[in-house]
A and B are shown apart, each in its own frame.
Chain A
Amino acid sequence: MNLATHVPILAIAVPLLGAFALPLLAKVHRSLRDLWVLLVGAFTVAMLVLLAVQVFTGGILVYTLGAGTPGDTVPEGFPIRIMLVVDGMGAFMGLIAALVGIAGLAYALQYLEEEKGKTLALTLMLLLWAGMLGLKLTGDLFNFFVFFEITSVAACGLIGYRVWESRPPEAAFKTMVMYTLGGLLILLAVGILYGEYGALNLAYLSAQIGQGPLDQIALGLLLGGLLMKAGSVPMHMWAPDAYGEADPSTAIVLVANTQAALYGLFRIVFTLYGGAGSPAVGGLVTALGALTVIVAVLMAVLQTDLGRLIAYGAVSQIGYMLLGAGVGMATLGAAAGGEAGFGLVALQGGVFHMMNDAACIGLLFLCVGAVVRATGARDLRALGGLGHSLPGVSGLFLLGSLALAGIPPLNGFASKLMIYQAAFRLSPILTALAVLASILLLAVFVRAFQGVFLGPRRPLGGTAAVPTGMWLAMGLLAVVVVAFGLVPDLMVRHVVAPAAEALWTGREAYLVAVLGG
């Protein structure tokens, strides 16, 4: 068997089967469970990197399940089988999942406590990882819904598994209500499109879809469900509850989960609908992006819980991604006439910011974990002086904060600069709002840093020693924050640009790869 041929399905199947095998191995021995997690994590990351190399060097990869050969997509002239389709955007999202997944698992292995549901949390993390990857790689709309639900169930479990505390189950319940409604909206849209066209293959639907009322209703339902799960204002209120109450080691994967919803939004608007009605949809996404940036940052100013403060910071970053993508969508029609190159730059900025946000926010959540482990507290009013006992963590927290606020030369600056400049061409007000939000975000994180790490030494409630696995996870994300900031051109040229092009002009290539010329 040529392993390279089966990379797309292995990238999903290995963490999925790994999740189900994990509780059984934990019954045998805890060391075996931990070794299994590391093996599954390393293998999945290797598959995702290999997948990205294949796609960025050889173009779109199609894998048909149940076919004699993976490339046999239309056996009798109709794409009936389950299909995985990986273009530049899918491969890029796979890389984000690889980074977040391996950092989260390495951290969780040493952060989580045995008597506090460690095996359950690790199982749910692997399940969430598999669901995210399936959502990003699938080529048909029904499996998109299935993986959407897998991520929802696993995410709610991860938020609320600490049932001995009162707040996590409450946050999980709220998230579950919202995710269920979002899932129903998507299922309704899937039903409408299936009833109309008799197929659910994305490429086939994309070739058939028009702008009739039913198509538009399905688009509206998909937008509603995906914007909600992405955490867009005013449907964002579950997100601070979820991120804030989740274990810091799992919050990093939950943030990546919202990015998966954002990816779904891009895939629907650019690939399925081909930008149909894009000025209106683009205007909507742009407006929601600007609103999300401002509202989330202002709410962050008020927070006294470190976890919720970072959670609002994470929501504000979703706003930047929506802003970049929205400007791209709004100008897609004009781009056909060669007039709106700034739309592509905005889209590139939004896509690049997904990777940068995953690294910055991930790093901040992991630092919160180290603080909680050391003190047992997350309240800014109770914390202080941790810079004396946790100098390394304080340095990493400062690094993540500065990057998130867009301070050069760190990674957040490069992607935000692309969004600022491109959005300015659409409306200077958008750029003004985005810059203002970044300034406020810097103020918020200066406040958090001052409150937690500066000041005189205070007695600790826990252990200040940070284990090696946690250092490795935080170090990996810190390296990404610095490296992508110092050489953003390499990232944009080799990874981000192909991903954005796959959305911007890659629809025809996507259709040809699946349906044939």
Chain B
Amino acid sequence: MILETFEGFWSPLVWTAVAVAVTLLALALRSRGRRDHKKGTEQTAPFLSGEAAPDGVHVGGQHLYWGFVEALRPYIERLRAAHTGFVVDYVTWLVVALAGIMLLVLLV
């Protein structure tokens, strides 16, 4: 049950056994936590910056990784600009790529 990967190997069953053991250990540690925790009280209520969160608030998918996208924006905007959605541009890219491929197979 071991997959040889040239430089090493991979045993998913060993990994799974270790993952189960770590999970059980984490649960055991958690069970020794604070006894004064009470479900359904304000202890478990979400809050935003110290304020009580309004009902029904959901941080939508588009908000995740906002900072990450902002940091990469110069690169991403160039990529987005290349994806115009115009079929003429698609054909242009095909012609450019084909020219590159031809040069490579004929000259290298």
Contacts and interface: CB of A to CB of B under 8 A. Distances in A.
B83 interface: yes
A293 B56 CA distance: 37
B79 A295 contact: yes
A158 to B, nearest CB: 18
A381 B62 contact: yes
Chain A interface, DSSP helix/strand/loop, else mixed: helix
Given A223-B105, A224-B98, A418-B5, A485 B91 contact: no
Contacts of A39: none
B87 A455 contact: no
B21 interface: no
A284 interface: yes
A238 B5 CA distance: 34
A480 interface: no
Contacts, number: 163
Contacts of B75: 298
Given A220-B106, A414-B10, A487 B1 contact: yes
Contact of A380 (B2, B5, B61): B61
A337 interface: no
Contacts of A488: 3, 10, 12
Interface residues of A, number: 66
A338 interface: no
Interface string A395-430: 000000000000011000110011001101100000
Contact of B79 (A241, A299, A454): A299
Interface stretch (A246-254, A443-451, A503-511): A443-451
A396 to B, nearest CB: 18
Interface stretch (A93-101, A147-155, A211-219): A211-219
Interface in B56-108: 56-62, 64-65, 68-69, 72, 75-76, 79-80, 82-83, 85, 87, 89-91, 93-94, 96-98, 101-102, 104-106, 108
Given A298-B79, A422-B6, A185 B12 contact: no
Given A284-B104, A414-B10, A414-B12, A299 B58 contact: no
A451 B5 contact: no
A236 to B, nearest CB: 9
A206 B35 CA distance: 75
Given A234-B96, A408-B12, A451 B62 contact: yes
Nearest to A491: B3
B61 A223 contact: no
A350 interface: no
A489 B62 contact: no
A451 B60 contact: yes
Given A422-B6, A443-B65, A486-B12, A237 B76 contact: no
Given A302-B80, A341-B6, A228 B65 contact: no
Interface residues of B, number: 49
25 contacts: A173-B87, A174-B87, A174-B90, A178-B87, A181-B91, A216-B106, A219-B105, A220-B104, A223-B105, A224-B101, A228-B97, A234-B82, A235-B97, A298-B72, A298-B76, A342-B7, A345-B6, A381-B60, A413-B12, A414-B12, A417-B5, A422-B5, A446-B64, A451-B64, A452-B61
A356 B105 CA distance: 31
B61 A301 contact: no
A182 B87 CA distance: 14
Given A174-B90, A178-B91, A237 B83 contact: yes
B76 A301 contact: yes
A281 B105 contact: yes
A71 interface: no
A413 B10 CA distance: 10
Contacts of B61: 304, 380-381, 383-384, 447-448, 450-452
A456 interface: yes
A178 B90 contact: yes
B8 interface: yes
A336 B45 CA distance: 66
Contact of B7 (A185, A241, A381, A421): A421
Given A173-B87, A234-B93, A380 B62 contact: yes
A496 B57 CA distance: 48
Contacts of A452: 61
A425 B5 CA distance: 12
